[in-house]
């Protein structure tokens, strides 16, 4: 996706009004580190955040405030109870401790001195290693956040499929009999949307991408979006269909040059007979 | 772009209240609640169309602020933006949860509880007079179609195709309303910063 294409979609993305497929494309473009689009998005989000200021303020009841503050006080009390309390020694225990202490302190002091010398030697190594570990941890956190975000998108897609009142299921078959590739298509007719999942596909070559098509009974082919697969050959795409489209006979996936094509130029990898509406 | 949370001279800033909330200062939470609960409640009423649900979510929002105030980063935006974004998200979550249980919140059950949208609504006291004028003018810059489409997306959490269906307008038209409306709002809220002006 180019910055021009992203800029066109950013207002809709900021408003949460984009279809999942387009939202994912925008997310991917932003994740690539495009600073100008990120800055533009921040401005649109800031603009949107002012929309509630057009609402007439509505004070909640006094009971709501009391509920909140009671909850806060209860949680603070619960935290205080679990805090360890210092134990006071009884007099006989205190005397035993003091006899033991007078003989003990010289050993403590010398041990502490030795440990201090040792600590200065190792301190530099420890700080260096901790610095590395913190960087590692930060990178891991960011990676996991990215994975969680992807899972969020996947879950959101599945939730959408489950909620549809008009759902059709079709299977993709590989055109090459030796290929292990396969796929499933969930046609959400209520929302005019395809959710396509593919498995065991051979990733397209360098500079290429997979493209989804919907094909009418008179063999007219319309692009429905591009996507890629991971190293295991698994991938998915969510495609919006025009509400006014006539019959759709087939769904097909080809490999195309990066950015996709207006008409298929590559080899058909998978095809599915989705029937007519 | 103006920071609507800029303080009046004698009141603690939003950022200072948030910092005190991190330190578990109940008084700071109470002050933030008193300052913004009417706005938070208005958002919840607009999304949920039910006062009881709206109050529940209002309390939940401030409870979440109390528990996770350390997530607020003053460098990423004002406390007001943080609050309105959080409120919208929680209110839409509640609405979707209610819908999943068969409770219809897409229509107002009692029109008198709906928080009407007004271009002359009084802004929270923490918004400086200058910014009040700017924000009020910016909201007036939207025409009715743009405002309606953007509000369906923002307050009702609808996708553009759902908005098209709801407003009975073509999909392309709805996309244009939202795009041009937000571009207009963004332009109207942009202004050069005065020297020495900072975020709250």
Q: Does B184 touch chain A (CB under 8 A)?
A: no
Q: Does A72 touch chain B (CB under 8 A)?
A: yes
Q: Determine the pLDDT at residue A193.
A: 82
Chain A residues whose CB is inside 8 A of the B133 CB are: none
Q: Does B116 touch chain A (CB under 8 A)?
A: yes
Q: Does B182 touch chain A (CB under 8 A)?
A: yes
Q: Determine the pLDDT at residue B199.
A: 37
Residue B116's pLDDT band (cuts 50, 70, 90):
very low
Residue of B nearest to A40 (CA): B186
Q: Which is more confident, B92 or B123?
A: B92
Q: Give the model confidence (pLDDT) of A112-124 as tens digits.
A: 666 766 666 555 5
Chain A residues whose CB is inside 8 A of the B102 CB are: none
Q: Report, as an integer, the average pLDDT of B90-112.
A: 70
| pTM for this prediction | 0.54
Q: Determine the pLDDT at residue A175.
A: 87
Residue of B nearest to A61 (CA): B55
- Indicate the residue of A63, A65, A76 with minimum beta-carbon distance to B24: A76
Q: Which residues contact A155 (CB under 8 A, 6 or more apart)?
A: none
* Contact assignment for B26 to A72 by CB distance below 8 Å: yes
Q: Does A166 touch chain B (CB under 8 A)?
A: no
Q: Determine the pLDDT at residue A276.
A: 52
Q: Which is more confident, B150 or B99?
A: B150
On average, the pLDDT of chain A sits at 77
CB atoms near residue A115 (< 10 Å): 10
* Contact assignment for A57 to B179 by CB distance below 8 Å: no
User: What phi and psi values does residue B191 have, to the nearest 5 degrees?
Assistant: -155, 155
Q: With residue A134 as reference, give the H or E element that holds it.
A: helix A91-163
* Contact assignment for A49 to B85 by CB distance below 8 Å: yes
The CA distance from A12 to B113, in Å, is 29
Q: Determine the pLDDT at residue A67.
A: 95
Q: Is the pLDDT of residue B21 over 50?
A: yes
DSSP B117-159: B-TTPPPPTTS-HHHHHHHHHHHHTS-HHHHHHHHHHHHH---
Q: Which is more confident, B75 or B61?
A: B61
Q: Report, as an integer, the average pLDDT of B99-106.
A: 70
Q: Give the model confidence (pLDDT) of A29-61 as tens digits.
A: 988 888 889 888 888 888 888 888 888 889 999
Q: Determine the pLDDT at residue B198.
A: 38
- Indicate the residue of A11, A49, A50 with minimum beta-carbon distance to B183: A11
Please give the share of chain B, as a percent, with pLDDT higher than 90. Answer: 39
CB atoms near residue A161 (< 10 Å): 17
The ranges of chain A with pLDDT < 70 are 80-114, 116-136, 138-140, 142-157, 160, 243-246, 259, 276-277
Query: ipTM score here?
Result: 0.79
């Amino acid at each position: 996706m180019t910055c021009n294409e992203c800029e066109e979609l950013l207002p809709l993305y900021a408003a949460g009004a984009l279809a999942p497929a387009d939202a994912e494309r925008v997310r991917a473009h932003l994740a690539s580190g495009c600073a100008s689009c990120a800055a533009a998005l921040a401005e649109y989000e800031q603009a949107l955040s002012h929309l509630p200021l057009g609402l007439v303020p509505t004070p909640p009841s006094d009971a709501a405030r009391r509920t909140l503050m009671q909850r806060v006080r209860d949680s603070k009390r619960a935290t205080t109870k679990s805090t360890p309390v210092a134990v006071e020694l009884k007099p006989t225990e205190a005397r035993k401790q003091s006899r033991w202490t007078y003989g003990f302190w010289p050993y403590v002091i010398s041990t502490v001195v030795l440990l201090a010398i040792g600590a200065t030697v190792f301190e530099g190594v420890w700080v260096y290693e901790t610095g590395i570990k913190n960087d590692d941890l930060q990178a891991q956190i960011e990676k996991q956040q990215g994975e969680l975000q992807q899972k969020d998108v996947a879950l959101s897609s599945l939730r959408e499929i489950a909620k549809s009142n008009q759902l059709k299921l079709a299977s993709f078959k590989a055109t090459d009999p030796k290929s292990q590739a396969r796929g499933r298509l969930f046609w959400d007719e209520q929302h005019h949307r395809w959710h396509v999942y593919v498995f065991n596909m051979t990733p397209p070559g360098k500079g290429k991408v997979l493209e989804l098509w919907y094909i009418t009974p008179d063999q007219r082919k319309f692009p429905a979006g591009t996507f890629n697969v991971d190293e295991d050959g698994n991938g998915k795409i969510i495609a919006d269909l025009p509400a006014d489209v006539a019959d759709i006979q087939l769904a097909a996936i080809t490999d195309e040059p990066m950015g996709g094509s207006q008409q298929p130029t590559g080899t058909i990898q998978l095809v599915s007979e989705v029937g007519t509406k | 772009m103006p920071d609507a949370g800029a303080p009046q001279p004698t009141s603690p800033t939003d950022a200072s209240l948030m910092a005190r909330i991190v330190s578990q200062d109940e008084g700071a939470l109470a002050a933030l609640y008193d300052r913004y609960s009417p706005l938070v409640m208005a958002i919840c009423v607009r999304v949920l169309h039910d006062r009881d649900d709206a109050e529940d979510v209002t309390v939940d929002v401030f409870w979440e602020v109390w528990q996770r105030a350390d997530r607020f980063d003053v460098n990423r935006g004002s406390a007001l933006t943080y609050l309105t974004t959080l409120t919208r998200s929680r209110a839409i979550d509640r609405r979707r949860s209610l819908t999943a249980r068969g409770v219809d919140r897409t229509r107002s059950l009692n029109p008198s509880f709906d928080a009407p949208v007004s271009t002359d609504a009084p802004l929270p006291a923490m918004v400086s007079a200058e910014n009040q004028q700017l924000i009020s003018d910016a909201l007036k810059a939207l025409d009715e179609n743009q405002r309606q489409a953007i509000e369906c997306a923002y307050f009702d959490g609808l996708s553009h195709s759902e908005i098209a269906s709801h407003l009975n307008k073509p999909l392309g038209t709805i996309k244009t309303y939202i795009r041009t409306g937000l571009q207009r709002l963004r332009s109207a809220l942009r202004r050069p910063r005065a020297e020495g002006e900072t975020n709250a």
